[in-house]
């Protein structure tokens, strides 16, 4: 280690500073060994959802046949029945879902479009202006209250301060030579 520059010496790295290699300072050694593995970038599908994203939906629940009906390792049925049952489940699931979505989806789409349109209309034309109006009136009222406090209460507080500042006292602790003078806030030894 080169004491002057606090850098590794070039003797440990002959390719640096020698005539037969690249020139420049030798690399800085990382003497701190971390116990954590090196950071790896996750694939987009594995990323954690942003907790601040208010529009993020929870991921779908896996309802495939293998995820729903898993047999234990000790008690298993025939392997060909697993394939048959998986096919029955998959095609029944598809047929019922497709049929119901064909019947129900247009009505639900209209209903939710109507509900969200009304919500948007209500928020944009009623809630936001009411909140801005409330803040406007808070500002005007705070100016009036501030002026009223200064006009009516400040003279009372100043008068009370003048009256109470004239209190004089001399207190002495029992069997002690120490005296506290309240007017000058001094402690005297008698």
Runs of H (alpha helix) within the chain: 65-68, 79-122, 128-148, 154-165
> Backbone phi, then psi, for 28, in 5-degree steps?
-80, 130
pLDDT for residue 137: 94
Task: For residue 115, count other CB atoms closer than 10 A to its CB.
Answer: 10
Q: Which of 3-12, 95-104, 137-146 has the lowest mean pLDDT?
A: 3-12
For the chain, how far is it from start to end, CA to CA, in angstroms? Answer: 70
pLDDT for residue 45: 53
Residue boundaries of the structural domains of the chain: 79-189
Q: What does the pLDDT look like over 49-68, one tens digit per residue?
A: 677 777 777 777 777 777 77
Query: Taking 80 as the threshold, does the pLDDT of residue 125 lie above it?
Result: yes
Enclosing H/E stretch for 119: helix 79-122
**Ranges assigned E (strand) in the chain:** 170-172, 178-181, 186-189
pLDDT for residue 109: 94
Query: Taking 70 as the threshold, does the pLDDT of residue 34 lie above it?
Result: no
Q: How many alpha carbons fall within 13 Å on the CB side of residue 117?
A: 6
Which residues are CB-neighbours of 102 under 8 A, at least 6 positions away?
Answer: none
Yes or no: say if 187 and 179 are a contact pair by the CB < 8 Å rule.
Answer: yes
Query: Taking 60 as the threshold, does the pLDDT of residue 186 lie above it?
Result: no
Q: What does the pLDDT look like over 135-174, one tens digit per residue?
A: 999 999 999 999 998 999 999 999 998 888 877 766 666 7
- Whole-number average pLDDT of the chain: 76
Query: Taking 60 as the threshold, does the pLDDT of residue 42 lie above it?
Result: no
> Backbone phi, then psi, for 52, in 5-degree steps?
-90, -5
């Amino acid at each position: 280690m080169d004491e002057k520059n606090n850098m590794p010496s070039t003797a440990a790295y002959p390719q640096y500073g020698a005539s037969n290699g690249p020139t420049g300072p030798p690399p800085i050694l990382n003497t701190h060994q971390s116990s954590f593995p090196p950071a790896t970038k996750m694939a987009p599908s594995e990323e954690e959802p942003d907790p601040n994203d208010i529009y993020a939906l929870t991921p779908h629940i896996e309802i495939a046949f293998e995820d729903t009906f898993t047999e234990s390792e000790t008690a298993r049925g025939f392997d060909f029945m697993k394939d048959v049952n998986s096919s029955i489940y998959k095609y029944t699931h598809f047929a019922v879902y497709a049929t119901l979505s064909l019947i129900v989806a247009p009505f639900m789409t209209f209903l939710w479009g109507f509900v969200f349109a009304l919500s948007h209309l209500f928020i944009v034309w009623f809630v936001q202006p009411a909140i801005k109006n409330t803040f406007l009136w808070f500002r005007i009222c705070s100016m009036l209250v501030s002026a009223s406090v200064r006009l009516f209460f400040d003279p009372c507080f100043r008068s009370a301060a003048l009256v109470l500042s004239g209190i004089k006292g001399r207190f002495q602790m029992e069997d002690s030579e120490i005296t506290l003078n309240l007017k000058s806030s001094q402690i005297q030894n008698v």
